[in-house]
Chain A
Amino acid sequence: MKRLHHLSALELRNAFLNGEVKAVEIADFFLKRIQKNNKPLGAFLSILESRALFKAEALDKKRAQNKPLGKMAGVPIAIKDNMHISGEITTCASHFLNNYKAPFDATVSRLLEEEDAILIGKTNLDEFAMGSSNENSAYFPAHNPWNLKCVPGGSSGGSSAAVSARLALIATGSDTGGSIRQPAGFCGIVGYKPTYGRVSRYGLVAFASSLDQIGPMTATVADAALTMEVIGRYCPHDATSLDLPAESYPLSPELEPGTVIGVPWQFLQDLQPEMKANFMASVDAMKQLGAHVVDIDLEVLKYSIAVYYILATAEASTNLARFDGIRYGVRSKNAKNLDEIYEFSRQEGFGREVKKRIMLGTYVLSSGYQDAYYKKAQKVRTLMVEAFEKAFAICDTIMMPVAPSGAFEHRSFHDPLQMYLQDIFTIPANLAGLPAISVPSGYDKRNMPLGVQFIGPQLCDVSVLQYAYAYEQSTKHTQIPPNYV
């Protein structure tokens, strides 16, 4: 048998079910990998050693007794540290929540554990998922396993680094403007953002409720599909959860004849030559599989970043209002009265980027400014939804790069607006609630991974994974970073 971290989640599960490996051995193996590699990578904020071993022992016992085992049996899974596991600390990579013990399970954590996953640790992120580089973690930045000088992307950078370095085989991510897909692209793994509402947000600490969506970050498309079968369920605790039956995800290396792929060429005209070449190669790969490629008009997407930073910050400014030092979290020791509790706790508890976004969001919602910003942005959002609808009338899926470049070096952006531009290709799927996946598409001249996106119409999660799978199987760009083989 291959070494455990060379297996996909599906293969590892089958190995466990077939008795080729014990769950305790799996847990031990990955815990050791984490212990060895986490310090330089900064991927995990906490390691759930005793929880993982306890679960592994229970699984071995269950197997010995021939009891039925779940779809995720024995698979070590990392949870982004903005999702709750009951009884464990959820920090959101913020000093404000240093001490916050989750009082309930996120639906996603619960479903994974019910299907016998081994939850192995909580991964690093930009504070409250606000960032594109993981440099906004209040604790320490995460690093890219392909080059530690580079960022792993963000906000789910800890998750992408962990899966890329095979410290876990699956990690959960949350994607508000690209926070799953961009770090997946930067680290050479698969990252999937489902249709808005497909996965319950219950137990995910909200950044921007109308955009947030949880999804899997995995080494392979098949593992993403496996995860979706488990977590893509209706949840009565989330009013925006889609009340639809759970789907199964049959995958075929072949593309259905007549598949039409839309590419918004005009919108992509400013791509750097290296990125353009990589993207063209991906489009060609799909043509090789028999796809027909059409040009689509998504010019309105050029307003994505402006719209996003208005809507996301508006929602965030109220979602984060609850962090006031009254009921939980860290209350400032310097506070002497109620106003000071609010002021000092938030001043000391939040990092710069979070404060900036709260202020921006408060501003765009203020009376007198709301029409010019928030309401106008909502109108443009509607135009984007309509533009996508029009595009999907003539194509089945849309291809776009994941980001304007591969992973960049730490501290390379001094202008925050330049950093925000990183999200230009990922934000549109959030604004329109569309399923979108990032799949490895090769490497740049620095040998840093690149990714390509497939975006589908709402609810077409199954077909998006299918296109990604066909692409993945025909291109096979996925590799384990050299230092983690």
Chain B
Amino acid sequence: MKGDLPYELWEPVIGLEIHAQLNTQSKLFSPAPNHFGDEPNTNISVVCTGQPGALPVLNKEAVKKAVQFGLAIGAEISPVSTFDRKSYFYPDSPRNFQITQYETPLVRGGTIIADVGGTSMTFQVNRAHLEDDAGMLKHFSSFAGVDYNRAGAPLIEIVSEPCIHSSKQASAYAMAVRAIMLYLDASDGNMEEGSLRIDANISVRPKGEKGLRPRIEIKNMNSFTFMEMAIEAEVSRQISLYTNHPHRQPLELIPPGTYRWDPEQRQTVLMRQKENADDYRYFPEPDLVPVVLSQAYLDNLRATLPELPHDRFRRYVSDLGLTEYAASTLINEKQLSDYFEQALAICNHPRMLCNWITVEFAGRLKDTGKTLLNIGILPVHLARLVQMIEQNKITGRIAKSVADDMVATPGLDPETIVAQNPDYQPVGDIGSIEPIVDEILAANPQSIIDFKAGREKAFGFLVGQVMKQTRGKADPQIVNSLLRKKMENS
């Protein structure tokens, strides 16, 4: 059915709300530890459980991280911003109101630059503000409990303009946001632990139509893959409804509602219809004073911003000569990019290093559940492996075997691996290589003719034959010079 839909006639319009948990020591309004995964209701204070008489006190570290994010995306930072109460009753909400920034967010505007399949695109951010997270409901067989460990954790909510037009753009944008948070050390970006959760507002319209059609919201997605699937499924659903009911009103076909993504059913599932817009009765939080930021404070934070993912991306592409695809693979995971940087400091062969990181080792580790970062292969090991290739101490083919060994026995230096295995010693003496060169030349007279006619390809073929015969161990330089000398003299 999917294939039958006239996708080419429709344009998806998507806006994302990304909730990123800030990795501050304590919570947004209380001194309780901001830490995931402990025994329920251990990281709490009287503020986190909404005890009567408890008062919120703003965490300055959270403000700093949110401001850094704003500066990183070139946004306007409000010199004075305020908090508001957002009222709704739910057991995970300890005061039955959330403290958020409704009227005057800390961050307004700004842009996110993301690589979408090799093309750099710019996305507009509407606003970003601070708010506190809710607790978590736990359902048991005969009752439900609430864990308030997460209650009060600092969140930055980053709201994009409805400027995203495909699932791929959505994930590229979200990954770029996540990368910025990682580079600022503002969030751990751990999606499995819920440190980054995404709501998507989705509508579609016929291409060329200016206005926006009714949208629905998919809440709480914590994986880029699921988000892409959810957006695609929802876009199909909407296009299909419009296509099959061309005469019905958009609002009738797509009534506003809140959905969630069901990964098992692979479809969006309606949670609740928004017949009457929720009334959260926002009003200024009287227990908090406005956040006032001085120009000196902002100047200082601006001056001390670390290198951001997009700057690094440009450096990788223009200075190091990486492809845009390779560069974006590296930068989206800050730790991987840092790993690359460490290796680069030892061995200045960026493209080879990048290839070994993103292709060779990634492929070897794919099904192990491990990554280069946690398996124990140090950046210096990777750097030495590439150095050995560059210095012709080993051939490319041997290097691949050495890499296999590095994965099998992580922590072992590749130089040691090579030194301990005679099979990895390249054959360097001319005496043992020369007969093989002669043999190959004798067997391939046509290649000699081609070489003399100026076809370099023929030379490469002959080198390959020699290497094959020596099972990759022959020193390529010796092979090269022998072949050239012999053919030129023949």
Contacts and interface: CB of A to CB of B under 8 A. Distances in A.
Task: Answer yes or no: are A and B bound together in one complex.
Answer: yes
Interface of A: 83-84, 90, 92, 97, 100, 102-104, 106, 201-206, 208-210, 236-240, 314-315, 317-318, 321-324, 326-328, 338, 342, 362, 365-367, 370, 374
B58 to A, nearest CB: 6
A294 B452 CA distance: 115
Contacts of A362: 281
28 contacts: A90-B53, A97-B52, A103-B46, A104-B53, A106-B53, A204-B53, A206-B287, A209-B287, A236-B57, A237-B55, A238-B57, A239-B55, A239-B56, A239-B289, A240-B287, A240-B289, A318-B97, A318-B283, A321-B89, A322-B52, A324-B96, A327-B94, A338-B91, A342-B89, A365-B281, A367-B279, A370-B281, A370-B283
A239 B51 CA distance: 17
Interface centre among A324, A338, A366 (most CB of B within 10 A): A324
Contacts of B3: none
Interface string B269-306: 00000000101010100111100000000000000000
Interface string B49-81: 111111111100000000000000000000000
A92 B53 CA distance: 11
B55 A321 contact: no
A339 to B, nearest CB: 9
Contacts of B94: 322, 327
B19 interface: no
Contacts of A342: 89
A338 B146 CA distance: 13
Q: DSSP class of B's interface residues: helix, strand, loop or mixed?
A: loop
B87 A321 contact: yes
Contacts of A328: 51-52
B85 interface: yes
Contacts of A209: 286-287
Given A83-B53, A321-B97, 7 more contacts: A104-B54, A202-B55, A203-B53, A239-B56, A240-B288, A326-B146, A338-B91
Contacts of A210: 286
Contacts of B283: 314, 318, 365, 370, 374
B53 A102 contact: yes
A201 B288 CA distance: 12
Given A318-B97, A327-B94, A205 B53 contact: yes
A322 B95 contact: yes
Nearest to A102: B53
A239 B57 CA distance: 5
Contacts of A239: 55-58, 287-289
A106 B54 CA distance: 9
A238 B87 CA distance: 21
A318 B95 CA distance: 8
Contacts of B87: 317-318, 321, 365
A208 B53 contact: no
Contacts, number: 93
Contact of B52 (A205, A240, A338, A365): A205
A321 B287 CA distance: 15
B52 A206 contact: yes
A2 B208 CA distance: 93
Contacts of B51: 103-104, 328
Contacts of B57: 236-239
Contacts of A84: 53
B272 to A, nearest CB: 14
Nearest to B88: A321
B53 A238 contact: no
Interface string B39-52: 00000001001111
A367 B278 CA distance: 9
Contacts of A92: 52
Given A314-B283, A318-B97, A206 B289 contact: no
A321 B52 CA distance: 10
Q: DSSP class of A's interface residues: helix, strand, loop or mixed?
A: loop
A327 B50 contact: yes
Contacts of B49: 327
B53 A202 contact: yes
A229 B56 CA distance: 25
Contacts of A201: 55
Contacts of B146: 326-327
A326 B91 CA distance: 7
Top-9 shortest CB links A-B? A321-B96, A210-B286, A209-B286, A365-B281, A205-B52, A322-B50, A203-B53, A322-B95, A367-B279
Contacts of A203: 53
A207 B96 CA distance: 15
B396 to A, nearest CB: 63
A122 to B, nearest CB: 13
A321 B95 contact: yes
B436 to A, nearest CB: 81
Contacts of B46: 103-104
A340 to B, nearest CB: 12
Contacts of B277: 367
A318 B53 contact: no
Nearest to B144: A338
A366 B279 contact: yes
A1 to B, nearest CB: 39
Given A324-B89, A342-B89, A100 B53 contact: no
Contacts of A365: 87, 281, 283
A322 B96 contact: yes
B40 to A, nearest CB: 13
A172 to B, nearest CB: 13
Nearest to A367: B279
A253 B111 CA distance: 66
Interface centre among A100, A209, A322 (most CB of B within 10 A): A322
Contacts of B287: 206, 209, 239-240
A202 B56 CA distance: 10
A365 B49 CA distance: 24
A321 B99 CA distance: 13
Contacts of A370: 281, 283
Contacts of B56: 239
B287 to A, nearest CB: 5
A322 B94 CA distance: 7
A362 B282 CA distance: 11
A208 B49 CA distance: 20
Contacts of A97: 52
A100 B55 contact: no
A296 to B, nearest CB: 28
Contacts of B50: 322, 327
A338 B139 CA distance: 13
A327 B288 CA distance: 24
B246 to A, nearest CB: 35
A366 B276 CA distance: 13
Interface centre among A321, A323, A374 (most CB of B within 10 A): A321
Contacts of A102: 53
B431 to A, nearest CB: 82
Contacts of B91: 324, 326, 338
Interface in B89-136: 89, 91, 94-97
A238 B29 CA distance: 11
B85 A318 contact: yes
Contacts of B54: 104, 202
Contact of A315 (B55, B286, B289): B286
A317 B286 CA distance: 13
A100 B52 contact: yes
A102 B283 CA distance: 28
Nearest to A209: B286
A90 B53 CA distance: 10
Interface centre among B49, B281, B288 (most CB of A within 10 A): B281
Given A236-B57, A324-B96, A366 B281 contact: yes
Nearest to B53: A203
B298 to A, nearest CB: 22
A267 B49 CA distance: 45
A237 B288 CA distance: 11
Interface in B361-390: none
